[in-house]
Amino acid sequence: MRSSLFFFAGVCCAAASVGVSAQARGEPQLEEVRVTAQKRSEPLQLVPISLVSLDETALATIGFDDLESLRLQVPGLQLLPHPNAQSTQLVFLRGVGNADEQIIQDPSVGVYLDGVYLARSQGLNLELLDIERVEVLRGPQGTLYGRNATGGAVNFVTRLPELGEWAFRQHLGTGSRDLLRSRTGLNLPLGDTAALGVGYLVSSQQGFVRNAGSGKSHFGSRDREALRADLYWEPVPSWRLRYAYDTAESEDTPAFIDRVPLAPLAADRPSSGSPDVADLRANRVHAEGHSVHVSWSPGGVFEVRSITGYRKLVDYQNQDFHSGEFGPLPLLQTEATGIQDNWSQELQFLGGSDEWGLEHIFGIYWFKEQAERMASNYTPGTGLRRLVFGRDIENTALAVFGHVKWAPPVLDRRLEMTLGGRWSEDKRRAVLNRALENVATGTVTFNPQPSAGEQEFDNFSPSFVMSWQTHETINLYAKVVEGYKSGGFNARATSPQRFSEGFDDETLVSWELGLKSDWLDRRVRLNVALFQSDYEDIQVNVQSDPNNVLLSDVLNAGSATIDGLELDLSGLWGDNLRYDIRYAWLDAGFDRITAADGTNVADRYRFIGAPRHFLTLGLEYTLAETALGHVRLASQYLWQEAQFSSSTVNAGTYIIQAHGLWNARLTLSSPLPRGEVEVALWGKNLSDEEYYTAHFNGGAGFAVPSAIWGAPRSLGVDFSYAY
């Protein structure tokens, strides 16, 4: 941490003392990037947040279609698959996340679609349409984003329908493993004051591990469909209304779970599963949402916004663990079905005074969630199926927040101070019934009493930021912010009593120094953030039997310190070459974990999703104009160091090994009398790197090191037409 601090201080001193302009008149400059990370449109370089924003061009370069597409794209962001379902993503930022996907446990990174909270890990990996920009906010965002953003937030921002414009977009793609992808978009003007945007997508691709048994032909296959309708109405300049509906379906087969050795040993990537696999079935997910955005800004003096959201998720998931490895039967078969609804309402009041140097946002937020879930865990070796019935799962949240920025009348108002705070109240209620089924006889024995719990939590999360624009293109900031994650219950608890007790909330306080700067007449952009986070009352998953993945307890037993450095460098070299370098260093370790006997057992635990080093290198070269059109070559190298993938070492060491991926895309864009056509050749993992995306204990009753593999090399071609 000390060496990083010296490095950061050196960068800041250089920023404060070295001339910026290279007088490169007439040469291209880096474009201004605008973001809405603080609930209003602002230049990224003036926002005191360690933030990566990916626009439509960047998203096209990486072949974006869902949250998983961001894997390895943003240093500090980790996306880990859950073994039971491809559509479920476990999201970590700066080493903070949740390694489970229970609907009665909250994630630690907030994911938002146009300001509407996507509350659960299930379904996060569904297709998304009309995405204009993705913003990844690193570090706790407790003031403006509230609970469950202790690690940070991911914002998906969709394209707003355009008034008075007819537009048509068609994308067709094909590639390795029978990839077929079609995406259609329309923008239809409705008079002078309204417009309708419509998008439709179908996508399918075969998995890379063949099923040698019965049922579906491959593990990890995708079959998806999505629809979006977006109506925008601006009756007068002071009123704006937007209603959007989206729905997505997926029938993805489960990922193949391979038996592999413990680290540091590794296996070879498989191409086929066991012939003993019986009836491989797809996981089915249906998600839909409605949102209504209303904005009123009379005379431009202030603005009132309302964001109303409704989300529904219905899912079925199943997984086969190790059929054929220890005999014809699997070690474990899991099934789960669930339905989840949530409603949210947010009111925002934005305003300010140029005369007084003030800018503010105040708001009220309300959220309600209801869910039901049934899970089945069958261990053929015992002949028993454990059943968990969930009913009356209900969560409600209420919050009031404020964020005030003041530029005092000194230093030409280039010094700004921001004070924020959010008060939150959460109520959680859950009732679970448990039963044990003897598969041979069909006898079902219910627990005498259900597991039931009810808890309330409240929290105040403050923030303070001071920023100083030392030059037109140099901005320094220092801040301290707090994040809060609510408590809850654990469906895998070892007893009804442990379930009813639940677990309490956790908090994270982050101290951060940052630099946002443009150099050489805006041809080079350097952003740096140095932070230290104090993590308290951490919700630690403790397995009473380290060899049994079915039972565990969650305790507020931990405290930790996380140090880190994030660096984003972009620049133009000559007229045709752009480079992007992003790097993150992370040092995350538990200071204390208190065992039942009061002893400190922190040395037995590791942070998940926290590689020490993470690097992305990107080059984009614009070739000379040809007779056919505009040619662009984009290439990326993405690398991360090894990381732990199990929080405890009791059952062995589980590690996702260090790996690097090389991707490239060659694009030809040609103007037509009406519109533009684009053809792109692309490749992912061109060096055919073999690597895990998950490494874990997949046994039930004894330890079985298991892994999910990353995809092999894939090639393809995209055709797009836009008018």
Cβ neighbourhood burial of 244 (10 Å; 0-12, 13-18, 19+): buried
Phi, psi of 141 (to 5 degrees): -125, 45
Q: Report pLDDT for 20.
A: 44
Share of the chain above pLDDT 70, in %: 94
Q: Report pLDDT for 549.
A: 55
Looking at this protein, which amino acid is placed at residue 92? F
Closest by alpha carbon to 531, among 573, 588, 581? 588
Using the predicted structure, report yes or no on whether residue 640 has a pLDDT greater than 80: yes
Q: What average pLDDT does this structure show over 63-70?
A: 88
Considering only CA atoms, give the Rg of the chain.
26
Q: Report pLDDT for 2.
A: 44
Listed range (411-415, 561-565, 624-628) with the worst mean pLDDT:
624-628
Listed range (142-146, 351-355, 698-702) with the worst mean pLDDT:
698-702
Top mean-pLDDT range of 332-336, 671-675, 715-719: 715-719
The residue among 473 and 550 whose pLDDT is bigger is: 473
Question: Which residues touch 706 (CB under 8 Å, ≥6 apart)?
Answer: 83, 257, 258, 259, 260, 321, 322, 695, 696, 697, 698, 699
Q: Report pLDDT for 501.
A: 86
217: DSSP letter:
S
User: Residue 547 — pLDDT band, cuts 50, 70, 90?
Assistant: low
pLDDT in tens, 390-441: 777 899 999 999 999 999 998 889 999 999 999 999 999 999 888 999 998 9
DSSP 3-state helix, strand, coil percentages of the chain (rounded to 5)? 5, 60, 35
Tokens of 230: 């977006």
Q: Report pLDDT for 625.
A: 78
The number of C-alpha atoms within 13 Å of 508 and in the hemisphere containing its C-beta is: 33
User: Residue 548 — pLDDT band, cuts 50, 70, 90?
Assistant: low
Phi, psi of 432 (to 5 degrees): -125, 135
The residue among 187 and 491 whose pLDDT is bigger is: 187
The residue among 276 and 702 whose pLDDT is bigger is: 276
CA-CA distance, 146 to 607, in Å (whole number)? Answer: 23
**Is 430:390 a contact under the CB 8 Å cutoff?**
yes
Looking at this protein, which amino acid is placed at residue 33? V
CA-CA distance, 347 to 366, in Å (whole number)? Answer: 9
Q: Report pLDDT for 53.
A: 95
Q: Report pLDDT for 122.
A: 81
Q: Checking DSSP bridges between strand 451-471 and strand 474-485, what pairing results, if any?
A: antiparallel
User: Residue 6 — pLDDT band, cuts 50, 70, 90?
Assistant: very low
Name the average pLDDT for the chain: 90
Q: What average pLDDT does this structure show over 597-618?
A: 90
CA-CA distance, 608 to 99, in Å (whole number)? Answer: 8
Using the predicted structure, report yes or no on whether residue 617 has a pLDDT greater than 60: yes
CA-CA distance, 407 to 633, in Å (whole number)? Answer: 44
CA-CA distance, 311 to 366, in Å (whole number)? Answer: 14
**Is 488:502 a contact under the CB 8 Å cutoff?**
yes
Answer whether the bond into residue 409 is a cis peptide, omega within 30°: no
Query: Cα dist. 384→417, 450, 494 in Å?
Result: 61, 20, 17
DSSP-assigned states of every residue in 447-472:
-SS-EEEEEEEEEEEEEEEEEEEEET
Tokens of 333: 């078969």
Q: How far is CA 494 from the centre of its chain?
A: 30
Looking at this protein, which amino acid is placed at residue 494? T
Q: Checking DSSP bridges between strand 152-158 and strand 109-113, what pairing results, if any?
A: parallel
Q: What average pLDDT does this structure show over 95-124?
A: 87
pLDDT in tens, 369-379: 999 988 898 99
Tokens of 455: 């808890």
User: Residue 596 — pLDDT band, cuts 50, 70, 90?
Assistant: low
Q: Report pLDDT for 450.
A: 85
The residue among 600 and 12 whose pLDDT is bigger is: 600
Q: What is the pTM of this model?
A: 0.93
Q: Report pLDDT for 451.
A: 85
Phi, psi of 482 (to 5 degrees): -120, 140
pLDDT in tens, 476-527: 999 999 999 999 888 878 778 888 888 999 999 999 999 999 999 999 999 9
Q: What average pLDDT does this structure show over 116-128?
A: 85
CA-CA distance, 664 to 687, in Å (whole number)? Answer: 11
Q: Which CATH superfamily is domain 2-722 in?
A: TonB-dependent receptor, beta-barrel domain (2.40.170.20)
Closest by alpha carbon to 336, among 694, 83, 80, 698? 83
